[in-house]
Structure 1
Amino acid sequence: MKKLALLTLFFAARCFASFSATYYVAVDGKDDNPGTLKKPLSTIQRAQSLVNPGDTVYIRGGVYHMKEEQISRQLRGYACVTFLDKSGAPGKYISYLAYPKEKPVFEYSAVKPANFRVAAFYVTGSWIHLKGFEVTGVQVTIKTHTQSECFENHGSHNIYEMLSMHDGMAIGFYLLNGSDNLILNCDAYRNYDDFSENGRGGNTDGFGCHPQPGSKGNVFRGCRAWFNSDDGYDCINAFEATTFENCWAFYNGFDANFKSAGDGNGFKAGGYARRPGSEVPNPVPQNTIQFCLAVGNKANGFYANHHINGSFWYNNSAYRNGVNFNMMNRLRDDVMADVPGYNHKMRNNLGYKGNNEVTMLDAAKCDISHNYFDLNLKATAEDFVSLDEKLLVAPRKSDGNLPDNGFMKLKPNSQFIDKGEDIGFAFKGKAPDLGAFEAGK
């Protein structure tokens, strides 16, 4: 009986230790509180000091006016306000979540450290899940070529979900290191740096993904980027492949009044234009851009950006961009000469009403089939349920997924129905449709 009692106590202790804890952060909280629902903390930074793998931090709604004295760490020229370096574990994420049905907003207009870039959230930990809050007003304080970021990632297996990064000078999301991160259903919009480089606004992207060697498997899914003064999505310095899936990019390269700003590409899926051959990764990564939508971007909707290899372009839709599909590559040698695109694989892509439709593409050196341009099919407005661009900024669904409306969806009698090639994705009818949206799904 004594042994049985000891075993019971042992297993009870094991079970108790495995329970996850829950903490709360609120606008009216205090960091010397215990972090309960009735006595919440005031900062995520303090919450991180208490959590363990499997724990959850709920962030109550309201506006958190961040202050310069809340900067947690300075490194690499960055002033990091919230510095998340504590990791979860496989199957035990540390979660920082908006409290159900509430919207926390972190506002950074007062954080202006001299001679530092600003990172609102600088994440070096892994197995972290951030969901459901907004970051706005992040500042740039350096006059020369520089940048700030709402989120900068260096960890692995992180999930960034239903986050909004808007109305600031900073890049929305920025990845330099870490593998198998998922950026899911996030929005980055109206970000314009009017301070550095004489206010050119030319270094503020919605999403930047520049993984260093070994940082593999990063995916952007269901994200939107619009009115960012440079590009919607940029992987100009990526040493590993990135996947962009079901993402939208529109009006990039303009401010909210359509004043011309930076480069203005929707998906800039390549790079190394200015790097000598000795600094180019070997092998050069091939990015995947699939089921994405690019509308009204100043320069290019889909852009290979002087890449030194081809990429995979599947079932994308482009409308009214400067160029809908620009497949420009460059030679690997130090001459850095631009050439028509080579090694690209393109399937089931659709474009309409670009100032130019497809440029800088060497079809003989690519794997091209079942796209609107090689099928010699020209779209008209009658092919689509709607071309009302107001639908692009419609509210997301309650689960965070993109709005489901008629924009650039095909009418049942469209010439692009069943004109695609089966490349392994689900479809209705005899064959896949062209473009980002399968009719009837």
Structure 2
Amino acid sequence: MRDRLRRTRGAVAAVGVSATALALAASMVSTAHAATLFSDDFGDGDSGGWSKSGGTWSVTTDGSPVLRQSNTGSELARMFAGQPSWADYEVRARVKPTSYGSGGLVAIAARASSSTKMYRLSLLADGRAELQAVNGSAITVLGSAAGVGSTGAWHTLRIETAGSTVRGFVDGVRVGDANGTLTGAGRIALVTAHAGASFDDVVVSSGGTGPTTPPTTAPPTTPPPTTPPPAAGTLVVATNGDDAAPGTLAEPLRTIQRAHDLVQPGGTIAVRGGTYAPASTIKILKDGSQSQPITLTAYQGERVVIDGENMPYTPGAVGSSIPRADRGALHVEGDWWRFVGLEIVNGPYGIFGVDTNNGRYERLVTRDNYETGLHLQGTSSGNHVVDLDSYGNRDPRKNGESADGLAIKEGSGTGNVVRGARLWRNADDGFDAWLFLSPVLIENSVAYDNGYNYWGLPDYTGDGNGFKNGGGTDPRPAVAHVTRNSMAWGNSAGGFIDNGNPGPLVFERNTAWDNGKDGFNVSRSTSVLTRNLAVGNTTDVSLGGSTGSGNSWNLGGTWPLVSTDPATITGPRTADGAIPTSSFLRPANGADVGARI
């Protein structure tokens, strides 16, 4: 199999990454200390590393690259990957059924010891899910759940295997928890039968559990004997380090900037727990490569805080501007970087990236900065923002008019994706795509309570939208941003707005509730809206010339909700970094309308 480190989460060990390096890098990604054995987001445009059995498979685009099986007449279509020796592991993937024939199913599988023997988590045409033990034509149902799968929508499927225990989850809902004796080891598989489907973001992690909350204490002066050694190509940074040191666990470096200057393509900068408060912006200027990205990550899930309070422009004077080179506690101009598990606070922007490509921003917290939490602009493409929490960002120098939770604006570049973001209590907007000339895909994200003056800023001008999809100075560019399965509530202005972008925006299965102005304002665009829900906003929808079907306003009637308590969704993330699933804002009548998070 080819090296899949470019695909951001890891690769099968057989590609030439040492076992020690793999274990270290993966344990730093997850607070559960589970190594990433394999991942594929199909961003390279092919299905290398997979073996096909039946069906018509191809990599195509559904907002971002996906693997699609399009032959609905195929009795059984499978794609296999991984190692026959894999035993205790978790496999998860995003799955979108596109069509079902009679008796059809769409599934992922674990412990496939042969092409016909495996544990399979299947979505069925009637909206049910089943955890199945498959042995040829004999199928034993180990568990089932109703109302968890729907055609045309993305769902996250997950199978866990540990000893004889097999568990299956769909969008966080447990489908089955059984004692399985069919097969003890085997590969993973993507499966359809008499159905079409898209698959994306396949990740396989080894077994293992650990704390769900990283420690807040500073690292010990001497690492305990059980701490694993750094892998080759890894530089360690610690608050008690020395920039003249070699960067090992026993003799760590002191600053992230020094580690950046020393790291080579394919290397990892592992930062020990503690607070780092440099006097100047940390500049990420060198490039990794597709086959050798560079990773900057918290070591072993320890809590790492990069505090920009000592940097210039924290805050800048009212009406002033920040020189580009000083923007961001982390200033990113390099390509092929991964940033994992860091907390960036009090910076002149949290993270500011310009002309930066193929970056991966995973499980970050950008909070209480003096400008936008995470901001990408310029010629920037192929960046993925995954499981970001960005909140409390404000801009005293602009009276609240500019600080967003997340901004991808004033530039262009294809393939930028946002998934699993939570954007709240920011001075201006949750998400802003102002003057970004290429489509951005947003999925499974929430934006709430933006646009209120929590800081007592004078002459406050914060806009207060959840998701602002483009716009600019006239003539405003027409850009087809896509927003799916996302929620906006309690914002001072709109939930989802086109901001004057005249383009063919796409809004699918989103929910807007209790926003101060419009739930959906697409009156100046040619948007297409499908199966969205708008409830309790000052104005639920302003369509103008936009069109759609299956939305709450098309269906009519009243829309009581199962729950208006966001405590689960806004609470701690799951061990794998996902937003917890709840019944928040789901229609009480069970209609398949609105977001499912």
Q: Residues 35-63 of structure 1, C-alpha deviation per residue, up to 9 Å, x if partnerless? A: 00111111221112222221111111111
**RMSD of aligned alpha carbons:** 2.3
Q: CA, structure 1 residues 100+409, in 2 after alignment: closer, same or farther (shift >3 Å)? A: farther
Paired residues of 2:520 and 2:534 also in contact (CA < 8 A) = no
Q: CA, structure 1 residues 168+149, in 2 after alignment: closer, same or farther (shift >3 Å)? A: closer
Paired residues of 1:23 and 1:57 also in contact (CA < 8 A) = yes
Give the Cα–Cα distance (whole angstroms) in 2 for the partners of residues 26 and 151 of structure 1. 24
AA partner of residue 581 (structure 2): D
Q: Which residue of 241, 252, 271 corresponds with 1:59?
A: 271
Secondary structure (helix, strand or coil) at the match of 2:567 reads helix
AA partner of residue 369 (structure 1): S
1:66 Cα deviation (Å)? Answer: 2.0
Q: Residues 213-269 of structure 1, C-alpha deviation per residue, up to 9 Å, x if partnerless? A: 4x1110111011101000000011111111111111000001447997500000000
Give the Cα–Cα distance (whole angstroms) in 2 for the partners of residues 149 and 34 of structure 1. 29
Q: Residues 288-342 of structure 1, C-alpha deviation per residue, up to 9 Å, x if partnerless? A: 01101101000000111111223000000111002343434xxxxxxxxxxx344
1:389 Cα deviation (Å)? Answer: 3.1
Give the Cα–Cα distance (whole angstroms) in 1 for the partners of residues 394 and 573 of structure 2. 23
Give the Cα–Cα distance (whole angstroms) in 2 for the partners of residues 33 and 127 of structure 1. 26
Q: Which residue of 478, 482, 491 corresponds with 1:288?
A: 482
List aligned pairs for 1:16-415, cutoff 5 A. 20-67=232-279, 71=280, 81-112=281-312, 116-117=322-323, 118-139=327-348, 148-176=349-377, 177-194=379-396, 196-197=397-398, 200-210=399-409, 212-213=411-412, 215-256=413-454, 262-272=462-472, 274-275=473-474, 277=475, 280-281=476-477, 284-328=478-522, 340-359=523-542, 361-362=543-544, 365-380=545-560, 383-384=561-562, 386-410=563-587, 414-415=588-589
AA partner of residue 291 (structure 1): N
Q: Which runs of 5+ in 2 are unaligned?
A: 1-15, 22-230
Q: CA, structure 1 residues 377+270, in 2 after alignment: closer, same or farther (shift >3 Å)? A: farther
Taking structure 2 as the reference length, the TM-score comes to 0.57
Give the Cα–Cα distance (whole angstroms) in 2 for the partners of residues 378 and 309 of structure 1. 31
AA partner of residue 394 (structure 2): Y
Give the Cα–Cα distance (whole angstroms) in 2 for the partners of residues 15 and 226 of structure 1. 39
1:162 Cα deviation (Å)? Answer: 0.7
Paired residues of 2:307 and 2:329 also in contact (CA < 8 A) = no
AA partner of residue 235 (structure 1): A
Work out which structure has the larger RCO, using CA pairs closer than 8 Å and 6 or more positions apart in sequence.
Answer: 2
Q: CA, structure 1 residues 405+416, in 2 after alignment: closer, same or farther (shift >3 Å)? A: closer
Please say which of residues 115-124 and 166-175 is displaced more in the overlay. Answer: 115-124
Q: Residues 343-400 of structure 1, C-alpha deviation per residue, up to 9 Å, x if partnerless? A: 21110101211111112x13xx4331000001113211xx31x211333420111111
Q: Residues 106-143 of structure 1, C-alpha deviation per residue, up to 9 Å, x if partnerless? A: 1111212576443211111111100001111124xxxx
Corresponding pairs, count: 359
Give the Cα–Cα distance (whole angstroms) in 1 for the partners of residues 257 and 310 of structure 2. 18
Secondary structure (helix, strand or coil) at the match of 1:210 reads strand
Paired residues of 2:446 and 2:488 also in contact (CA < 8 A) = yes
Paired residues of 1:292 and 1:436 also in contact (CA < 8 A) = yes
Give the Cα–Cα distance (whole angstroms) in 1 for the partners of residues 254 and 232 of structure 2. 21
Give the Cα–Cα distance (whole angstroms) in 2 for the partners of residues 46 and 178 of structure 1. 25
Secondary structure (helix, strand or coil) at the match of 2:329 reads strand
Secondary structure (helix, strand or coil) at the match of 1:45 reads helix
1:20 Cα deviation (Å)? Answer: 4.9
Question: In percent, how many aligned pairs have the same letter?
Answer: 31
Paired residues of 1:20 and 1:54 also in contact (CA < 8 A) = no
1:26 Cα deviation (Å)? Answer: 0.9
Give the Cα–Cα distance (whole angstroms) in 2 for the partners of residues 51 and 66 of structure 1. 19
Paired residues of 1:310 and 1:341 also in contact (CA < 8 A) = no
Secondary structure (helix, strand or coil) at the match of 1:322 reads coil
Paired residues of 2:350 and 2:369 also in contact (CA < 8 A) = no
1:104 Cα deviation (Å)? Answer: 0.3
AA partner of residue 307 (structure 1): N
Taking structure 1 as the reference length, the TM-score comes to 0.76
Q: CA, structure 1 residues 372+88, in 2 after alignment: closer, same or farther (shift >3 Å)? A: same
Give the Cα–Cα distance (whole angstroms) in 2 for the partners of residues 203 and 225 of structure 1. 14
Give the Cα–Cα distance (whole angstroms) in 2 for the partners of residues 212 and 318 of structure 1. 28
AA partner of residue 169 (structure 1): Y
AA partner of residue 318 (structure 1): A
Paired residues of 2:509 and 2:530 also in contact (CA < 8 A) = yes
Give the Cα–Cα distance (whole angstroms) in 1 for the partners of residues 585 and 248 of structure 2. 47
More helix by share: 1
AA partner of residue 415 (structure 1): N
Q: CA, structure 1 residues 150+156, in 2 after alignment: closer, same or farther (shift >3 Å)? A: closer
2:180 alignment partner in structure 1: none
Paired residues of 1:89 and 1:127 also in contact (CA < 8 A) = yes
Paired residues of 1:248 and 1:293 also in contact (CA < 8 A) = yes
Give the Cα–Cα distance (whole angstroms) in 2 for the partners of residues 39 and 407 of structure 1. 49
Give the Cα–Cα distance (whole angstroms) in 2 for the partners of residues 406 and 151 of structure 1. 35
Give the Cα–Cα distance (whole angstroms) in 2 for the partners of residues 96 and 136 of structure 1. 16
Give the Cα–Cα distance (whole angstroms) in 2 for the partners of residues 157 and 358 of structure 1. 36
